Amino acid sequence: MSLNLQIRSSSSSLIAGPVTLRRPYASFSRRQSASQAVRQRHYAVRASTPTDDLKEKVSEAGSVFKSNVAQLLGVRGGERTSDIWKIRLQLTKPVTWVPLIWGVLCGAAASGNFTWTPEHVAQSLVCMTMSGPFLTGYTQTINDYYDREIDAINEPDRPIPSGAISETEVIVQFLALLAAGLGTAFALDKWVGHETPTLFYLAVFGSFISYIYSAPPLKLKQSGWAGNYALGSSYISLPWWAGQALFGNLTLDVIVLTMLYSTAGLGIAIVNDFKSIEGDRKMGLQSLPVAFGVDTAKWITVGTIDVTQFAVAAYLFLGLKEPIYGGILTALILPQVFFQYKYFIPDPIQNDVKYQASAQPFLVFGLLTTGLAIGHHNAVL
């Protein structure tokens, strides 16, 4: 009996042995898994935290950069600043210089006489400075001065309504820019040997249009059609005429063509009215979005831009017999139509800047294409 009990006891011991071995192993395994989990969480925290911080810093830096750039370019969303020279630059809205500078280039191309010599390049750069920083800067500054009450409603962070610059300082600025523009035009006439100061007359005419566009009693911007066409012609026709007169002669067909092209500029000017609709309505200004409503005005906008350009393309095909340039212009119009339906038509108020940034490069290259077509046509003749 005792032997059997011992055997059973030994058997039990043998059977229990593996069990007692398994328990420490399972406990060790659980401790190991827990330790690994802690290390993984530790490494995950260590790996993700710098990345998240970096992303946050990059995002913050990007926002600050965009805000500073917007401030300097004079567009919405700009950072407020106390630096008087940044404020003065903001008043001139450098982003609006580009069409004028480009217009001079188109006119020079249309003259058929521009060559890439140091003198011609220097003359064109001076003419661009006259049209862009000086006279467009004058136009934008005087416009902000006479729009200060409207901007107090629409864009209270603008320099004048926010009190960042005094009204007296603004007056001094636009008078100085006007004097610089007119003086540069007169100097260019002397430089190229004009007997009649054509460029000076164009500068005076353009400055007068800018004044009556913004200032009472006429204040053309109060009338949607007249004001927007005046603005469009100032951005397209006048710099083109200056560039062509600088290197050649203005002809009637070019004057008519550029005035037609200014209808596209009218459409571009209407785009700028959508963001001001609330203030315009309160101040009694009959911009097209106020007069016709947002839905009708947006179709008027795209219609004037597209129909005008397709008409010019037809003229290049049929009138000048320049099919290559006509085809290039047509190809440049189509992306504009695409961006109209992608951005502008769905929401012209929120997407005005996005639409212009996307579509206007194609429009300005279309202007240059037209200028090159005229220059090539005149050279062949």
pLDDT at 68: 55
Query: Which of 7-11, 148-152, 293-297, 351-355 has the least mean pLDDT?
Result: 7-11
pLDDT at 190: 97
pLDDT at 294: 93
Q: Is the pLDDT of residue 25 over 50?
A: no
Query: Which of 132-136, 151-155, 241-245, 280-284 has the least mean pLDDT?
Result: 280-284
Q: Is the pLDDT of residue 22 over 50?
A: no
pLDDT at 107: 96
User: What is the rounded CA–CA span in Å between residue 8 and residue 339?
Assistant: 91
What mean pLDDT do residues 190-213 have?
A: 96
User: What is the rounded CA–CA span in Å between residue 373 and residue 35?
Assistant: 76
User: What is the rounded CA–CA span in Å between residue 222 and residue 208?
Assistant: 16
DSSP H stretches of helix in 161-197: 167-192
pLDDT at 36: 55
Bin 223: left if φ > 0, else alpha if -120 < ψ < 50, else beta: beta
10 Å Cβ neighbour count for 94? 17
Side-chain half-sphere CA neighbours of 100 within 13 A: 27
| CA nearest to 309, candidates 335, 329, 325 | 329
For residue 151, name the pLDDT band (cuts at 50, 70, 90). Answer: confident
Q: What is the CATH number of domain 98-380?
A: 1.10.600
Q: Cα torsion at 39, 43, 49, 52 (round to 10°)?
A: -130
What mean pLDDT do residues 101-126 have?
A: 96
pLDDT at 155: 83
What mean pLDDT do residues 120-134 have?
A: 97
Higher-confidence residue: 324 or 378? Answer: 324
Sequence-distant (6+) residues with CB within 8 A of 50 are none
Model's pTM, two decimal places?
Answer: 0.75
pLDDT at 63: 53
Higher-confidence residue: 30 or 123? Answer: 123
| CA nearest to 287, candidates 353, 330, 229, 340 | 229
What's the residue count for the chain?
Answer: 381
Query: For every residue of 243-285, which 3-state class applies, written as one string?
Result: HHHHHCCCCHHHHHHHHHHHHHHHHHHHHHHHHHHHHHHHHCC
Higher-confidence residue: 50 or 180? Answer: 180
For residue 87, name the pLDDT band (cuts at 50, 70, 90). Answer: very high
Mean pLDDT of the chain: 83
Q: Is the pLDDT of residue 77 over 60?
A: no
Proportion of the chain above pLDDT 90, given as a percent = 58
pLDDT in tens, 218-272: 888 877 788 888 888 888 999 999 999 999 998 888 999 999 999 998 898 889 8
What mean pLDDT do residues 289-304 have?
A: 94
User: What is the rounded CA–CA span in Å between residue 338 and residue 344?
Assistant: 10
Higher-confidence residue: 304 or 272? Answer: 304
> What is the enclosing helix (H) or strand (E) of 30?
helix 2-73
User: What is the rounded CA–CA span in Å between residue 373 and residue 375?
Assistant: 5
Evaluate the omega torsion of the peptide bond into residue 217 and state whether it is cis, within 30 degrees of 0: yes
